[in-house]
Structure 1
Amino acid sequence: MILLDYHNVIIKNTLETRFKKEKVEPVDMTVADFDGVTYHISTPESKSVILISLGWACTQELFAHGAQEVLKREYGNMLLDTPEHGYDVTLSIDTEQVPTEVEDRDEFIRKVSLLKRNMLAAPFERAFAEQEQCEKEEKTEINSELMAVHYRKEEAIYVKSNFDRITVIFSTTFKDETDKIFGKVFLQEFVDARRRVPALQNAPQVLCSIREPPMELRHLNLKDSDDVSYVTFVLFPSHFARGDVREETISRIQIFRDYLHYHIKCSKAYMHTRMRARVRDFLKVLNRAKPEIQNAEKKTARTYKALIPVITQILLNCRSSPFKKPADFCLFTPLHPMSTLKQLLKHKPQITLALLKPDICANAALPPKIRQAIEAKNLEIVEERNVLWTEQQAGEFYAEHQGKFFYHRLCGYMTSGPFKAMILASPNAIKDWRALIGPTHPVR
């Protein structure tokens, strides 16, 4: 499992790109972040001055817990006394005063992108300071305030200091039934992992309860529902020692809720992938389990003379076989009566009848490319004409295919418009024409 970034990636990438460009352009962006946070990045007055504003529903609660002092400490003169209209905090960045050294500039950009994190760090820093003061005075009791931050709708973070520990409580709501199941598994794993894994003995203690709030919150008027779960982290002095350890603890505990829901969604996606894979495997098993039909006729591409006209349909091989049926010649009557066609067979080495499908000859003319291909094969066009069939004529012509799955589609296709009918002649007319048009089976 991965850990989410503490900073806002869009702000970081936007500033990095802007500081690298020699020619800057005006910017006006609205960016959404976790927990309902909204950023506004703009250059309203000057291209060299960037305003980054933050709007958050719990800002006033954070200010009551010392967020204003934390922001002044971190951002100094960049923090405006009067924020942009519609937002709670605004930083003003003069690009001409940004550090020129790469490392210093990267650190500056990262600090700006941690605006939300630094605001939410205020109650934690206050609780740590209270615990240190109590420890310094060697008190065994502390009358500290329960700091509540309602950072999401129906969800909150509660921080309370004690003489030997800091208690952080998350109230989280699972509205989806599937999320409740996954969430319960995840939260129980947080509780059990510390007991099972020796390497986690120094990790903060984790407690979880569903519906029933922990002792520190029972005096509050909280929502009584099975949708609400409470996760308690108990931090000891070793977890918030001054320096990088303290900063890392604050950063990590802030993203717990996002971390939890992110991995619930990943788990659901993984389960869906597994289920789809299992269904595919079952379908393969079912397909292999189909019994073979005894004495069934096995058909191949050569079984059918032609199923659906791909480019053309060869219907008559005159010289090499007797006349197929009178319907084969109805295409050319009355221009050529039967006797005339019989005479034609005596003077031509071999002829074949070819049809070009309706969409090829939409303008009633033989396309030049097809005519050139016919001439390249030394095929002589003895006769050609445009034909428009009725459904009855098409049914009579393709009567041999009646009852097959393609019959109605074939008849409907050939009656959709006029098509070109031709008599072609050459010493090997049948073979040459078949080689020219390629396979007539729809699969091939």
Structure 2
Amino acid sequence: MGAYNRGVGRQDLGWSRQYLFVAAVFALLFVVAFGLFAQLTISQLSRSYLEDVLLTGRAQAEELAKQFRGEGPLYQVVEKKKEALQRLSLSLARKEVIESVEVYDERGRLVWRTTTRSEGVPGGFPEPGSEFVPLPQGEHVMESQTSYQIRVPVEELATVVVSIPKSALEQRIALLRRQLVVRTALAGGATLTMMVLAFVFIGHLIKRNAELEARRLRDRELAALGVLAANLAHEIRNPLNALSIHLDLVAEETSADPSAAEAVALAKKEVSRLRKLVTDFLQYARPSPPQKEPVEVEAFLRDVAALLGPECERAGASLTVGASAGTLLVDRGQMTQVLLNLGLNALQALHEAAVKQITLRAFRDGSHWVLAVEDSGKGIPPEELPRVKEAFYSNRKGGTGLGLAIADRIVVAHGGQLILQNRPQGGLSAQVRLPAAAEGVYTLPGGKA
């Protein structure tokens, strides 16, 4: 079994390393893919934002060009719509990326300008003597080292020029990039965290499933070994019975020889011990379900005391019985065996005790009945208490290690609990806690509780 566990442990370790490697590779690929996606998104955003700004500038230029179409000479139109142009200047001043809007006449002279990025100069008419600026014909976008110029002709009278500085665009795009990077990082981090948690959870489920599968295989092997051992024990018990009968015959023939009689008696004792071990093992390996019936507590405890009394007399121990009135719903035979096993263990613990006292008690504790077997021995060392109910564990020479294991299994089958604890005044208290019949007191046909 140890080699089996080591093999399972090595498999789990190898699987864990493979899983961690796959998870790390997947996380790396996810980060790389997410980074490429973010880079492409940022590049596309920059282009889209530039196109959007240029379209906005063109729309502003066309809106301004409408102010001059079909209204007569350019200078008269500018003078007549001075207030409207000033409102437009204020509106453009609130734009973050449009630097200026200029209007030139057909000869290339600057007629009107709004400078939106100059403090205290929202726009207006140019100073006298402004230079002539030659403009190409047609509507198009011109790019210089510092700005974009969107030019929209107004029939043959004028040209509207909207200037957008590259520095303002770069600052705006940089701000948008930073915001996008932060949001993308947050979204990617949240997604990666969720995926890591999902990987951890899936890994836990896979590991748990592997453990359950390994446990299932182990339990199946143990069950097969148990069946084999039970069959072997059954086959051994028959020869032991025959051997015991023949030893009885030999004892009769050698009764006149003390040394031979002593040897035969010793052999009979060992055969009896082996037969008890085989019987206990068969009972432990092939437990039968309890056949519950109503049992009157006081009478039941007196019957157990009657069976245990002769053993107490031979050991020189006194036996005290105390029980509350009531009814248990138990398998009488199995529960009798439990109390007998506990009582015999208590007797064996009194071997070196100065005062040899055993007490059988039964009392109600809330919704449970407690059947207690207490002795005045030395108790059980605290470090051994957690193990004494394990099968084949015994700290007594010649013990089978199955008495408490069988008792515990029977109590659990009844829906109860076997509690072993050392008493403050010395000795051990073995308590069988059982649920009361029908979560209350069982009523006998005669009306007695």
Flag the structure with higher helix content: 2
Normalised by the size of structure 2, how large is the TM-score? 0.24
TM-score by length of 1: 0.25
Rg comparison, structure with higher value: 2
* Larger RCO, structures 1/2 (Cα 8 Å, 6+ apart): 1
